[in-house]
Structure 1
Amino acid sequence: MPHILITRPQGKGASLAQQLEQEGYQATLFPVLEINALEPNSAQLTPLLNADKIIFISQDAVTALLALKPDINTKAQFYAVGEQTAEAVWQAFGVRAAVPKQHDSEGLLALTSLQQVAGQNIVLVKGKDGRPTIAQALKQREAFLNSLVVYQRGPVKGNATDWIDHWQSIDVEGIVITSNAAVDAIFRQLSSKQLQWLRHCQFYVASNRIGEYLKQQLDSAKIHIAAGASDSAMYSCISQGNTMSENVKPTTSAEVKPAAAKPTTKASSASAATKESTMQPNNKQSISKTGSLALLISLIVASGAGYQFYQKLNSEQQATQLVNQLTTDNQQLNKELNAVKKAQQTLQQALFNSEKKVAAALVENSEKTQQQLDSALQRAEQQAYSLNPQEVTSLQRMAEFKLWAEKDYQGASAVLSRLDSLLAEHPGTGAIRQAIHQDLQALSSVQSVPVEAIYLKLHGIVEQIEKLEFNAVALPQEVAQDEQHALSENVSDWQQNLLNSWHQFTDNFIKIRQREDMSIEPLLTEQERHLIHQRLSLYLSQAQDALLTKQASIYFTAVSQAHIIVKEYFKQDEPLTQSTLKALSELSKEQMHFSPEVKLQSTEQVKEWAQ
């Protein structure tokens, strides 16, 4: 079985290698590209929230986007170029992606759901320097396209010439390629000998586009095109391509062996020599071998004939004539040999001239092709950079909607930043960009009300209401009074003792005590304390509701009433009361600007520009 080299990036191709080894192939993983993830800013990721359709170019695009952990609209319609990319989308986001039957850009654009996309927000998740086919087609269909570049491909560290020498040493016969970038990484800075070796290898590519790109380097007969980049498609392509190569047996030029020469007459030997000398050679090597062999055969035949004649003729005269004839034949053979050598030199010179002409023609065609490619790229860039007024107007309206309808100042800033980046690529939009930057500055100065923090602070005060300590009734000290009605032990004081006894008797019914401080606070019953707690809790809950409904006047009134109740009915020297009063005082100073007036300066500029 052939030795197959898999050039897919790190982490891919292991399953294909295992499948090939199970079928008896020798498989080697040799990545020639590496994937480097990029980090788009928040403004570039914002379109994912409002996207109607999201298109993923490759598995690497899905993996790189998932690593960013973006906020993505999972209700949007997802698309994937191939089955493996669709599986990666399902594993990452739990959404089934639409897949075309033809796994490439053209197949994706042929889907019915991508035909009528005018006014729809589409996000294209792709790699850097990818094909512009999808982006150009969707813009021509008047879609609002946002290209999100999340990764880039590049050759791995190392020299391609060292790779080729290593592949030759391990007898690689087939090479798997799944991108044009891999073709560029392999066919760079190669010697003619290495390039010639590559042209004898079999190449298994993932699409017709890669095959057409590879045809610039080698013969199309060596290129086998799979039905996609999946492991099963590549394996089917390898097995079918190998079967075809085995069925076509290589043809070899059969070596012509001369028949045993029978000694005949001198005329027959001369005729044979003349026939051999007049044969037209096909190449340099066949000319030298055939001519030399013919001369040698003729010489042997002539010598044999002469010897035979010499044996048959007894006379010395006949022997002399035979020698003279042989000498004449040898001279003729030398002339013919010289003629063959001259023809060989002429053929070599013609071959050299042909090679020079072919090389010059290749250089000329290469220059023409490069010029055509440059002009095509220039036209493509001009088409890609044409500014769509509807896209500019739509982005401006989206910013206004987020500002006035949703009160989403950060979202409005993100949309305006996207519009600014779009206009930056086109001249003559300086006035609009200046207005956009004024709007961005105004939006950045808007301070949003920390609703959640204030709400939680009020909730914390509500939870502490039951722990607040009421003002207790503290009675002043009684005024010390002398005992005026004490009984005497003297019998003569019986009248006074009787009077004192009467006074003591009346004191049991009515007793008046005098105290120094007469400012006594009223005593609160348990029911009254409960009502005060309920009233304070009601004011704080009212402040929370006013905060959520964005009613600033009600909020400040409720906080003020709560502050008065705490200050009037609870102990002021307690730490909990002091912290509660401090928190209520801070809450009463919060800036409740729920709907600040912000006017977009760029609106009028965009309207004037669109007209």
Structure 2
Amino acid sequence: MTEQQETQATSQESAAPRQSPAAEPTHASPAPAKQHKGRAGVIMGAVAILIALGLTGGLYYHGHQGAMAQQAELGQLKQQLADVMGRLDQSGSKERTQLGELGKQQLTLQEELKGLQNRVLDLNDKRPNDWMLAESEYLVRMAGRKLWLEHDLVSAITLLGNADERIKALNDPSLMPIRKALAEDIAKLKAMPRVDREGLTLKLAALEDQIDQLPLSNVTMPTAEEQANQAVSSNPDEWESNLKKNWVKFTENFITIRRRDGAVEALISPQQEIYLRENLKTKLLQAQLAVYREQQALYEDSIDKASRWLAQYFDTENSATHYLQGELDKLKGEQIQFDYPDRFSTQALLEQVLTERLQRIATGN
């Protein structure tokens, strides 16, 4: 628009002197007025052009400053983005390096695993039944627990026999010392005396049930002395004897005296009788517990006290009491405690053989 205004002003200025003399007015006074109006229009146009140029320059300056600020911010953002990308590249390179190392370790482990698998397969081809040897060692350890913890001879002998059968199935001549040791351990256990613990405890329990039916001993009175003949004699020389006899006859109506020799046992009260029977049952129960715990001293002491109380407070002439006393005497002689071997000789040999074979597996020989 500024250029157009300048062009219009220029055209107006150039058009003014080109007017022909015929077009000028005839009167001389109107000509200066027209010239004055033309100059005013030129001035107004120039002012408008200047204003337009000022606004345009201001807008341009303001836009230029905004563009510079935006460019600065954009440069900062680009720098930050470049820093972030650099960090990401560094972390990515580290992760790629770590992944590469992990991949190498994985390959190494896979190679080692393949080598171990090949060794195991090779050993299985050489000794395919070695697991039976380990099972035999486990059976021997279980036999030891049965013997030392539960004192179960039958189970221990059975477990050792099972271990010998598995070693026999291997058909390996190098294991003959182990089979020999197993045979010795089994022979030792079979030579030991066996106790029927269940049978003993059942007998004691049956005797305990009969205590309530046993009769107590009654009071036994000694035999009274025979009284002498109190008949009065007619012989005058026996006057003293006749006087005594008459005195005895006279006193019999008031007091009767009989002489008895021997001690008299008093009866116990009903409450004491209850305590006696319960204590006797307790002693038989202690004997049952001593059988399972293999406490020989406690077993014998319990049986001995029960036998003494039975003879002291109960009727020994009664058949039930007599039977119970005889059974206690038999049970008192039972042996319930034994010395068991501390260790099986087979166990040490089996542990040695298994250790040697594990070392072969580790070394690959």
Aligned residues of 1:402 and 1:412 also touching (Cα < 8 A): yes
Counterpart check, 1:511 vs 2:253: no
* Residue deviations 1:359-394 (CA, integer Å, cap 9, x gap): xxxxxxxxxxxxxxxxxxxx9986644566544443
Helix, strand or coil for the counterpart of 2:173? coil
User: 1:503 offset after TM fit, Å?
Assistant: 6.6
Q: Across the two proteins, how many residue pairs are aligned to each other? A: 223
Shift of 1:484: 6.6
Which structure has more RCO (C-alpha within 8 Å, separation ≥ 6)? 2
The equivalent position to 2:330 in structure 1, one of 586, 600, 603, is: 586
Is the alpha carbon distance of 1:578 and 1:387 closer, same or farther for their aligned partners in structure 2, counting shifts above 3 Å?
same
Instruction: Go from structure 1 to structure 2 and tell me whether the alpha carbon gap of 1:400 and 1:520 turns closer, same or farther (over 3 Å shift).
Output: closer
Aligned equivalent of 1:572: 316
Q: Please tell me the residue identity of whatever aligns with 1:479.
A: E
Counterpart of 1:475 in structure 2: which amino acid? P
- Contact map agreement 2:133 2:167 (CA 8 A) in 1: no
Quote the Cα distance in structure 1 between the aligned partners of 2:134 and 2:140.
10
Matched, 1:407 2:151: yes
Give yes or no for contact 1:448–1:594 (8 Å, CA) kept in 2: no
Q: Is 1:444 the equivalent of 2:190? A: yes
Q: What letter matches 1:600 in structure 2?
A: F
Return the alpha-carbon distance in structure 1 between the equivalents of residues 136 and 337 of structure 2: 31
Question: Following the alignment from structure 2 to structure 1, what is the Cα–Cα distance between the partners of residues 200 and 346?
Answer: 34
Assess if the C-alpha contact under 8 Å between 2:167 and 2:179 holds in 1: yes
For residues 535-585 of structure 1, what are the alpha-carbon distances to aligned partners after superposition, in whole Å with 9 as ceiling and x for unaligned?
A: 323322332233344332111101001111222333433332221121001
Structure 1 pair 512–581 and aligned structure 2 pair: CA distance change class (3 A): same
Displacement of 1:463 in angstroms is 2.1
RMSD: 3.6
The farther-off stretch of 476-485 and 451-460 is: 476-485
CA pair 506-535 structure 1, distance change in 2 beyond 3 A: farther
Equivalent residue for 2:175, pick from 414, 426, 429: 429
User: What are the equivalent positions in structure 2 for 1:261-272 lying under 5 Å apart?
Assistant: none
More helix by share: 2
How far does residue 439 in structure 1 lie from its aligned partner after superposition?
0.9
C-alpha distance 387-470 of structure 1, shift in aligned 2 (>3 A): closer
SS of corresponding position for 1:555: helix
Residue 539 of structure 1 contacts residue 561 of structure 1 at CA under 8 Å; is this kept in 2? yes
Contact 2:148 2:340 in 1 (8 A): no
Q: Output one character per residue of 1:287-310: Cα deviation in whole Å (capped at 9) or x when no partner.
A: xxxxxxxxxxxxxxxxxxxxxxxx
Q: How does 1:49-198 map to 2 (within 5 A)?
A: none
Measured in 1, the distance between the counterparts of 2:188 and 2:208 equals 37
Say whether the 8 Å CA contact 1:398–1:415 is kept in structure 2: yes
Q: Which residue of 1 aligns with 2:4?
A: none
Q: Secondary structure at the match of 1:428?
A: helix
Distance 1:525 1:410 in 2: 48
* Contact 1:402–1:409 under 8 Å retained in 2: yes
Contact 2:216 2:315 in 1 (8 A): yes
Q: 1:426 to 1:454 in 2, by over 3 A?
A: same
| Structure-1 separation of matches of 2:303 and 2:344 | 35
1:439/1:600 contact within 8 Å kept: yes
- Distance of 1:545 and 1:523 partners within structure 2: 35
Structure 1 partner of 2:230:
483
In the TM superposition, residue 422 of structure 1 has moved relative to its aligned partner by 2.4
Separation in structure 2 between the aligned mates of residue 548 and residue 392 of structure 1, nearest angstrom: 29
Alpha-carbon distance in structure 2 between the residues aligned to 1:445 and 1:590 = 18
What TM-score, normalized to structure 1?
0.32
For 2:322, what is the secondary structure of its paired residue? helix
> Could you tell me how far apart the structure 1 residues matched to 2:274 and 2:132 are?
69
Amino acid at match of 2:350: V
Name the CA distance, whole Å, in 2 between partners of 1:526 and 1:430: 73
SS of the residue corresponding to residue 429 of structure 1 reads helix
Maintained 8 Å contact 1:485/1:504: no
Contact 2:182 2:346 (8 Å CA) reproduced: yes
Quick one: distance in 1 between partners of 2:324 and 2:204? Answer: 10
Instruction: Report the Cα offset of residue 442 of structure 1.
Output: 1.5
**Aligned partner of 1:608 among 332, 352, 355:** 352
State the alpha-carbon separation in 2 of the partners of residues 426 and 590 from structure 1.
45
**Counterpart position of 1:396:** 140
Tell me what 1:524 maps to.
Answer: 267
**Alignment deviations for residues 95-120 of structure 1 (CA, whole Å, 9 cap, x no partner):** xxxxxxxxxxxxxxxxxxxxxxxxxx
Please identify the structure whose Cα radius of gyration is greater: 2
Partner amino acid, structure 1, of 2:204: L
Q: Supply the distance in 2 between the matched residues of 1:534 and 1:484 (Cα, whole angstroms).
A: 57
Q: Secondary structure at the match of 2:140?
A: helix
Matches of 2:348 and 2:183 in 1, distance apart?
A: 14
The one-letter amino acid of 2:179's match is R
Give 5+ residue unaligned stretches, structure 2.
1-119, 234-241, 357-365
Contact 1:471–1:571 (CA<8 Å) still a contact in 2? yes
Letter in 1 for 2:266: L
**CA 1:422–1:547 in 2, change beyond 3 Å: closer, same or farther?**
closer
Quote the residue 1:453 is aligned against.
199
Distance in 1, matches of 2:275 and 2:253, equals: 38
The question of whether the paired residues in 1 share the 8 Å contact of 2:284 and 2:306 is answered with: yes
What amino acid is the match of 1:584? L
Task: Compute the displacement of 1:431 (Å).
Answer: 0.7
CA distance in 2, matches of 1:485, 1:530: 55
Tell me the secondary structure at the aligned position of residue 192 of structure 2. coil
Q: What's the offset of the Cα at 1:476? A: 0.3
Give the Cα separation in 2 of the matches to 1:481 and 1:584.
48
Which secondary structure state, in structure 2, belongs to the residue aligned with residue 415 of structure 1? Answer: helix
Which residue of structure 2 aligns with residue 218 of structure 1?
none
Q: 1:561 aligns with which of 283, 294, 305?
A: 305
> Any conservation in 2 of the 1:420–1:436 contact (CA below 8 Å)?
yes
SS in 2 for 1:577: helix
Runs of at least 5 residues in structure 1 that lack an aligned partner in the other structure: 1-139, 142-378, 487-495
* Separation (CA, whole Å) in 2 of partners of 1:405 and 1:461: 29
Q: Residue 434 of structure 1: CA displacement?
A: 0.2
Q: Residues of 1 paired with 2:130 and 2:279: CA distance? A: 67
The residue that corresponds to 1:301 in the other structure is none
Q: 2:129 & 2:276 partners in 1: Cα distance?
A: 71
Once the two structures are TM-superposed, the CA of residue 427 in structure 1 deviates from its matched residue by: 2.1
CA distance in 2, matches of 1:580, 1:394: 47
